[in-house]
């Protein structure tokens, strides 16, 4: 069966420090991968999605970047964190190719607090 | 914005009662999906209903879709305390691939 792993579960970082959040999927090949951010009490905002290795699409301009060095690995990064980067970050995957017509499966998220 | 809007924002019911949550959206869609999120956790997919479908069932869940009114409803029958969670609708706009999530309904089921 397919599983998605996301770590760390919580992270406290100072303003201006770098960030690296990792997400891996097991049990499937060529997944579509997603990074979302969820503000407290709100819905999800799509940050990045990827349909293949090194194929990244960004949905909103921001202080973050994403990379997909391997088929089932998706990394969210920042060189210098801002206070506004605080939030709950969720990784998800879906099967392709028509990813809009497939359910998405989520990891347990990373709670990021910027001090 | 394509983003769905759930109604009500919060709902509190007694165990055993039915819970109905509604979702409205603004443009034509390929499909609409409902997800559940327990506090501090990731989302869990519940049901996907395509634009040419009107109703789907899964266990105690019933989803309806009215594309003429651009609305959907999620009914949970015979609710349990374990159903306490936030419920989100998400839409895929016609011709697009990405999901747009609403802001959710917070359901509390009182034992």
Per-residue DSSP letters for B63-77?
EEEETTTTEEEEEE-
The minimal CB distance from A109 to the residues B3, B42, B50 is found for: B42
Alpha-carbon Rg for chain B in angstroms: 13
Average pLDDT of span B23-29: 92
Residue A89: CB atoms within 10 A of its CB come to 23
Average pLDDT of span A23-37: 94
CA-based nearest residue in chain B for residue A87: B40
Distance from CA of B63 to the nearest CA of A (A): 15
Average pLDDT along chain A: 91
Looking at residue B1, what is its pLDDT? Answer: 46
Spell out the residues 6+ positions from residue B28 whose beta carbon is closer than 8 angstroms to its own.
B51, B67, B93, B94
Q: Strands B5-7 and B19-24, how do they pair?
A: antiparallel
Residue A29: CB atoms within 10 A of its CB come to 9
pLDDT at B2 over 60: no
Residues of A in contact with B30 (CB under 8 A): 100-101
Question: Burial level of A11, CB count in 10 A (0-12/13-18/19+)?
Answer: middle
Average pLDDT of span B47-68: 96
The DSSP code for A98 is S
Residues of B in contact with A104 (CB under 8 A): 33, 43, 45, 99
Q: A39 pLDDT band (50/70/90 cuts)?
A: confident
- What pLDDT digit, counting tens, does each position of B75-109 carry? 999 999 999 999 999 998 877 778 889 889 999 99
């Amino acid at each position: 069966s397919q599983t998605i792993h996301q770590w760390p579960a919580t992270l406290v970082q100072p303003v201006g420090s770098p960030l690296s959040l990792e997400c891996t999927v097991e049990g499937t090949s060529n997944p579509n991968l997603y990074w979302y951010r969820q503000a407290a009490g709100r819905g999800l905002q799509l940050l990045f999605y990827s349909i293949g290795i090194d194929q990244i699409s960004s949905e909103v301009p921001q202080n973050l970047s994403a990379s997909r060095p391997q088929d089932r690995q998706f990394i969210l990064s920042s060189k210098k964190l801002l206070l506004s980067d605080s939030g709950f970050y969720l990784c998800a995957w879906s099967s392709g190719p028509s990813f809009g017509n497939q359910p998405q499966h989520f990891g347990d998220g990373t709670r990021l607090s910027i001090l | 914005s394509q983003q769905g809007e759930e109604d009500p924002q919060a709902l509190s019911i007694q165990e055993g009662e039915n819970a109905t949550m509604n979702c409205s959206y603004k443009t034509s869609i390929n499909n609409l999906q409902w997800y559940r999120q327990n506090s501090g956790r990731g989302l869990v997919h519940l049901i996907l209903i395509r634009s040419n479908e009107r109703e789907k069932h899964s266990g105690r869940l019933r989803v309806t879709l009215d594309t003429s009114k651009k609305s959907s409803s999620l009914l949970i029958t015979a609710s349990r305390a374990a159903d306490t969670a936030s419920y989100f609708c998400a839409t895929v706009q016609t011709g697009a691939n990405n999901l747009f999530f609403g802001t959710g309904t917070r359901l509390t089921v009182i034992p």
